[in-house]
Every structure is written in structure tokens, then in C-alpha cells.
Structure 1
Amino acid sequence: MLGIVVVWGAATVTFIGMQLLPGDKATLIVGGGSLGGATPEVLAAITREYGLDRPLIAQYGDFLARLIHGDLGTSYQRGAPVAELIWSQLGSTVVLALGAAVLGFVLAVVLATSTAARPRGRAVTSTVELVLLSTPSAWVGILALTVFSFELRIFPAIGNDGIASLVLPWVTLALPIAAALAQVMRDGLERALEQPFATTVLSRGATHGRLRWRHVARHSLIPVLTLSGWSLAELLGGVVIVETVFARAGIGQLLVTAVTSRDFPVVAGVVILSAVVFVVVNVIVDALYRVVDPRLRETTP
């Protein structure tokens, strides 16, 4: 139920924002006057066709009704259904986001488990993580392009051509996520290592490596799951930046183009899709809480 409220709230805020932005929508639909100027008759016909002359409350009702039926409207600039435009770019963005999420999680696990309760390693990695968290993704992407594409020529600079073109975008997106998750996971590991069960496991002949990977790591996953909402927001925002820096096709590029051309239906469609993804991910995270910590299954009705 709460997820429905979140999506409805995102849709409502988007609709209000579309109404507050300046400009005549009928003019935008015919290309902003760039096609030689539309006659008043043409603009009036478009206004009637799109229902722009109806009261705002009626337009809002139509907007919600279309959303319920999965209709995100039609792009002003491209004349194509917004759902089709998003679907055509979704695959590239999903590959980019999922790859970055997996890479970020793996890096976080390696950093946290290898430096927890080790003062020297913790000091070095904590400093690096702080730098990564404080550095804008755009700057990291440009630096990666400069070094690995323009200077060393190891990876392609732009485009969607194979795995090689994904490496730098993946790393650019994954580094800040890995830095944040590693800090939280390391704190959880260090608290777990101080628990009596850790001493018991060691007394039974287990190595420190086995203790960390087999017994302690699971205890640090709860705070990591709690940060998943932030990680998702970082991914959604980072995708727009990374796809722009690396000139990759995807939802981010589609959104930037739509904002630049004031293509309101496309902007609204991407925002609503982001809200739906956020809700779905949080539902999955709630389910994973019970998988990671069996005690939650016992206390949850």
C-alpha cells in the first residue's frame, strides 16, 4: 500500500511540475515553433486533441487514468509513445546499473572483510573511501576517460560497443557505492568480531579468514541492506551523468534530451519509472531482511 502512495506522489508532483513550467504545450507539441510557426488554428486543434483546454483537475484525472492502464502518454518531440521510447533504451541502462551494483557490492565486501579490525588497512581504505564519496561522478568519469581512453587507449571513449565500452562506466558508478557500503559493512564486521561467538569459532580451530567469510560477514549485511535505498538513488542519479559523460544510449540520455527540449511526457515517464523501481527494490530488500536474519522471521507475523 505504501508503495502505491509513493508512486502516486511521484506522479502527482511530476504533473504539478509540468503545469508550473513556462511555455505553451501546444507550441511545444508542434516543435516549439521551429517548423516555420504554427497557425492559431493548428494550435487550437492540438489543444483540443490533447485536452489542454480542459480544467486542470480533469487533466490530472486523465493523467492518472492513463497511468493506471500503463499509458505514459506520447512524446511531444518524437511523436512516439513514451513507453516505447523508454523500453527501447531500458536494456542499455539496466546492464549499466546492474553491472555497477554488482561490482560495487563485490568491492565493498572485499574491502570490508580484508580491513576490518586491522588498524593500518582500515586507516588507508577509509581515507580512499572518503575521497571517493566526496568526488563527483562526472569528474571520476572524465578522469577515467583521460587516463584509460585518451592516454593509454585501453578502453573505448564513447558508445555502446561491447563489454569494453562498459568497463569505465561500471567503475565510475561502482566506486562511490563501494566506498559507502564498505564503511558500513566494516563497522558491522568489527562489532561481530567482538561477539562471544567469534571467540568460540576460533577456539574450534577455524582460521581468521574462515571466521570472517563464513560466520561474521552475514552479520554485516543488515546495515548494507538498509543502505540499499541510498545506493539505488546513487545509481539512478549516476546513470544520467555517466551516460552523458560516456555518450551512451540509455534512460539517462533520454531524460537529458527530454529536459533540454522540454518534452514533459518523457520526463514524467522516466520519473514515474524511477519511483516504481524504487518501490520494487525496497519490497525486495524487506524480504531479504528475513533471509539474512532468521530472527526477523520469528518476530514477524
Structure 2
Amino acid sequence: MTAYVGKRLAQAVLVLWAAYTLSFVLLSALPGDSVHNRIANPEAQISPEEAKVMLAYYGLDRPLAEQYLHALGGVFRGEFGYSLSSGDSVGHLITSALPSTLQLTGLGLVFGVLFAGVVAVLINYGRWRWLRSLVTAVPSLFASVPTFVVGIVALQYLSFRLRLIPSVDDGTVRALIAPAATLGLVVAAPLAQVLATSMRATRRQPFVHVLQAKGAGEGYIFRQDVLRNSSLPVLTLLGLAVGELIAGSVVTESVYARAGIGQLTVSAVNTQDLPVVQGVVLLSTAAYVVVNLVVDLVYPLVDPRILVEGRSRRSARWRTDGQAVESAADLPAGSARRLPAEVAMP
């Protein structure tokens, strides 16, 4: 288990570094930024001396490689620089906008999982055939409708016509439900489709037929065996869904006028505020990596065979002609391969 966790942590650090480096290179290749645009604006009336001071303050007068090393060192120290537009600390801007986005994405993920679970259960356990056929089309419907369309329609009917929710974020729970449900539809479609397929395949396994022959009810089999054995593909998608939630929050916060990371990103992109964009990219990557790391660590708890199979692959010795070899690559072509009995799975 220690080696498994260490390997996943090393991969997480590598992904964070690669994402930050790639974003720095791509953003630096874009023409202009807030400071240079302000200096070039004739209405600003900035003198050459003031321009030099501004460029030196933000470190834009240094070579690109030096800017990268300085920025990377600041990340290790927890310093992300200053906004080129407002002059505020990037860390302060992100921490101010983060709580609202965390509430939105967290509740959106809960709604997405609930939607997907209900749809998958109805597809596999619906009492009437017409109901199962009808619900089968729901994941495709969720996936085909853009998020902003769902948000606009929900805002039009729930806020302006029925007066059930406020049209802007007023800090109440009612103002959070509609955008979270809209965002939940982003992840509900793939989760529902994969979970329904996994449940269907699990219900056809021989151990389920044995439990049915012993008199176990469908509810017991579902709770004890089907749900657990169907959850691994869904856990994988949950890790990938974080990226969908972060991307969807940009649109959702714009539609519902919520102040958060999405609005901060839109504003930074519009003003070419590179430090803020880099900070948001690093935050999004860190969230994605952390969630996938948690998913990887949960895998062995759901299915302990993952660790057992990993140890078996490392410890197994393939044998041919009475001689031990380290791996399948060491075997002569066309030779018979046989696992030793002591590592054979039951």
C-alpha cells in the first residue's frame, strides 16, 4: 500500500508541474498583457520612466526563462504574484472567489451523482418496460443539451415566471439550488450511462444467479453486491468529472451572475491578466489531481483485488523449460507460459 500511495503522489506532483509549465509557455506566447496594453494606450499617458517601473515591478522586463523560474519558485513558497489589472495578490483573489465555487461544484456533484443513480436504477430495476425504455434515453438528452441552455431556461421559468429562486446570487440556499442542479446535469449523463451499463453487466454475473437461487431478494443483492461491484467505473468517471465541473462553473456562474472562480477566469482572460489565469489553471489542476488521487486511493478499499493483483504481477515468475524468468519479455518465442500455482487467483 505504501508503494501504491507513493507512486500516485509522484504522479500528482509531475502532473502539477507539467500543467503549470505548459500554461506558462502558452500564455507567454500570447501577444500582449494588461501592463503592456496599458503602457501602449495613449489615453493612459504613461511616461517611459513610469513604464520601466511598472515592468520591473511585475518582472516583465526579465528574460522569459528567468520569469518562469521566479514564478515557479513563488509557487513553491505559496506566492502566485500580483494581478496585472488590479494589483491585488493572486492568492487573495482566488481565496476570495473560491468558497462560492466550492459550494456550487460540491452541490453540483451531489446532484449529478443523485441524478445518475436514480436514472441507472430505473433503467435496470424499473417495474414497467416502457418506463425503462423512456429513462434509457435520459443520459443522451442530458449530454446533448448545452449547460448554458439549461441555465437560461431554468432561470427564465424558476426565477422570472414562478419566482421560486432569485435571479442573482443573494447568498441564500435558494439561489444555489438552481445553478447547482444545472451544473449537476453536466456530469449526470456519463455517470448514468456508465453506471447503468455496469449494473447490467454485474447482474449477469454467475454469483448473482447463485444468490438468487439461494433465495436472496433483489434489494439485498443490489445493496451487498451489485452496487459495490458496479462502482469502480463510476469512481473513475467521478475523477474525470471534476474537470467538467470546473469548466461548467465558468458558464453557470456567468448565467446566474455568481461571483466565483468562473467569473474571475472570464475577467482575467478578457484583460489578459496572465498571473491570475496561471493561478486559476494551477488551482484547477490541483483540484483535478487531488480528486483523482483520492479516487486511486479509494480503489483498493472498494476492490482489494487491485493490490493483490499488483503484488502478484511483481512477485510472479514465469517458468519455461524448468528455468525461472523475470517477465514475459524474457520468454522465448512460442514457448508455453504458466503461472506458478502459489500465485494463481482462486
Identify the match of residue 298 of structure 2 among 282, 288, 293. Answer: 288
Match of 1:214 in 2: 224
286-295 or 201-210, which moves further after superposition? Answer: 201-210
- Percent identical residues: 38
Instruction: Name the CA shift for 1:59/1:144 in 2 (closer, same or farther; >3 Å).
Output: same
AA partner of residue 257 (structure 1): S
Q: Deviations over 1:97-141 (max 9, x none)?
A: 011111111221122123216553332122121011011100110
Write the distance in 2 (CA, Å) between the matches of 1:124 and 1:138: 25
**Structure 1: 5+ residue runs without aligned partners?**
none
Check the 8 A contact 1:113/1:212 in 2, yes or no: no
Asked if residue 242 in structure 1 is aligned to residue 249 in structure 2, the reply is no
Q: Helix, strand or coil for the counterpart of 1:300?
A: helix
Return the offset for 1:257. Answer: 0.9
Return the letter of the residue paired with 1:131: L
**1:259 maps to what in 2?**
269
Mind listing any 5+ residue stretches in structure 2 that lack a counterpart?
1-9, 312-346
Which residue does 2:31 correspond to in 1?
Answer: 22
Please say if 1:53 is aligned against 2:61: yes
Please tell me whether residue 122 in structure 1 is matched to residue 132 in structure 2.
yes
Q: Is the aligned partner of 1:12 residue 2:21?
A: yes
Q: Distance in 2 between matches of 1:35 and 1:258?
A: 22
The verdict on how the C-alpha distance between 1:146 and 1:73 changes in structure 2, with shifts beyond 3 A counting, is: same
CA distance in 2, matches of 1:186, 1:222: 13
* 1:273 lines up with 2:283 in the alignment: yes
Match of 1:146 in 2: 156
Task: Select the structure with the greater relative contact order (CA < 8 A; seq sep ≥ 6).
Answer: 1
2:74 maps to 66
* 1:86/1:270 contact within 8 Å kept: yes
- Contact 1:10/1:272 (<8 A) preserved: yes
**Counterpart-to-counterpart distance in 1, 2:271 and 2:33:** 13
The alpha-carbon deviation at position 91 of structure 1 amounts to 0.6
- 1:184 aligned onto 2:194: yes
Amino acid at match of 1:165: A
TM-superposed CA distance for 1:24, in Å, is 5.3
Aligned length: 300
Residue 77 of structure 1 pairs with residue 92 of structure 2: no
Q: Which is higher, the Rg of structure 1 or of structure 2?
A: 2
Q: Distance in 2 between matches of 1:24 and 1:193?
A: 57
The one-letter code sitting in structure 1 at the alignment partner of 2:204 is E
> Given residue 73 of structure 1, which amino acid in structure 2 is its aligned partner?
G
Give the stretch that moved more between structures: 136-145 or 1-10.
1-10
2:338 equivalent in structure 1: none
- The TM-score, its normalising length taken from structure 1, stands at 0.93
- Normalised to the residue count of structure 2, the TM-score between the two structures is 0.82
State the match for 2:116 in structure 1. Answer: 108
